[in-house]
Structure 1
């Protein structure tokens, strides 16, 4: 941390939040950090809010892999990406002064639409019909046809995203130390015409998942990346793989991924 001294605070620009963030900015200056106004000038980016705010901070600052991200929660809700609470200034001081922190590396999804436009996401990529009806996709693992899916859609998640939407559709919780992606079905049809695996499956970072939409679809799928939907029109093919980049975050030594899982779900 000694050579990472430029801090950017990502937060809503309103009177209430500005007042809450000001003591954190003063605390940073007191311990020889420089508070900057532009995220591109920072090598530490601090999100203020909840996990959704953290996801937006990473997205709006470009999934940078040359800086550290840190999450500061403002509500009493449990958070996966926030190691600190805005009222825990003593805890922040202790982390700064005693170096009671580590660097955690989160895998990032890379989604390419029609081999042209590429997007990144930290939790998951959601593909589902924009209409209230099932739709059909041919599922390829690398170049090999795996299955023909018909249903509401699919959730493709990172290990850290495995505790989010993926878990709500009975996907597995995956250790983020494993570089992989998980594919979970949304209400698949299994009958004499369509047959899918019927359970979540996991691919290593060596594989690429390709979804080819059938010609009988409207070709207007909803594609969600974390907590944001992207605008799409005619889409024929979606490719998802694990990106080469990683998002580095501040991690307290007594706050591992599995400790977060335990306190959130058990």
Structure 2
């Protein structure tokens, strides 16, 4: 990373974290890296915390395509997006010196609400009812009607995010090298009168999903963008597709996606 020298540190400031970060700042200075206070000046963005902090770092820094993202956990338990620990600064240095790291590109999804509000998600976008009643959504694939969903909601995930909320709903784990999006149901209603697919649906990355909310008084759903809830009134339709925007992440070579799946779930 000879040309990447401007570093932005994303973290929730506490006295304990500031003390832990102090050695990191000293090392950055020693190796001629510049800590900047504005993420727009950075070409390396370091998230300090867990996977949730990493997702927040992406959102708060605007999903920068020209920056390299690095996740550092504050504890010893490493996550899907944090290959390094703040308790092991020497390990971070050794990885950099011995070139046991590599850059991996991860896809994002672009979400448009009512054809206006557009935003990106790294893991998933979910749409759920905000009242205790059946939520009705007409599902279109590439503008062709597919089904009418009744239940608590739907979630659309990236391959990277297939191990998160999607997996807890019985969704499939998808290799991030596959360009695809996955549609998974949240507590669907299936009986003699109403019927949905009742299974996760994996679509080509070239497909566009359109979720049209049936206007029956339940048109103020909770829309989740990764780990953040968005309040959007009068939601009529949500369009979701794989974005051209890819996130570059600095990862350990010996910690592949499936190695992390194995460590986490098996």
> What's the TM-score, normalizing by structure 2?
0.97
Worse overlay, 10-19 or 200-209 = 10-19
Q: In the alignment, what sits opposite 2:181?
A: 181
Give the root-mean-square deviation of aligned CA atoms: 1.0
Q: After the TM superposition, which of the residue ranges 132-141 and 90-99 deviates more from structure 2?
A: 90-99
> 2: CA distance between counterparts of 1:200 and 1:233?
28
Q: What does residue range 48-63 of structure 1 map to in structure 2 within 5 Å?
A: 48-63=48-63
| More off after superposition, 121-130 vs 11-20 | 11-20
| Distance (Å, rounded) in 1 between the aligned partners of 2:18 and 2:90 | 20
Q: Deviations over 1:211-240 (max 9, x none)?
A: 011122420100001110011111110111
Q: Which residue of structure 1 lines up, in the alignment, with residue 222 of structure 2?
A: 222
1:75-124 deviation digits (Å, cap 9, x = unpaired): 23341000100111121111221222111111111110000110111111
Q: Give the TM-score normalised by the residue count of structure 1.
A: 0.97
Q: How many residues align?
A: 266
**Mapped partners of 1:4, 1:18: distance in 2:** 24
- Residue 247 of structure 2 is matched in structure 1 by 247
Distance in 2, matches of 1:22 and 1:67, equals 23
Whole-Å separation in 1 of the counterparts to 2:51 and 2:78: 9
For structure 2, the residue ranges without an aligned partner over 5 or more in a row are none
Structure 1 unaligned spans of 5+: none
SS of the counterpart of 1:7? strand
- How many angstroms apart in 1 are the aligned matches of 2:75 and 2:156? 28
Deviation string for 1:178-208 (max 9, x for gaps)?
1111110011111233211110011111100
Q: Secondary structure at the residue paired with 2:28? A: helix
Shift of the alpha carbon at 1:13? 2.1
2:89 matched to which residue of 1? 89
Partner-residue secondary structure (3-state), 2:262: helix
- Does the 8 A contact of 1:220 with 1:234 survive in 2? yes
Partner of 2:8: 8
Distance (whole Å) between structure 2 residues aligned to residue 7 and residue 39 of structure 1: 8
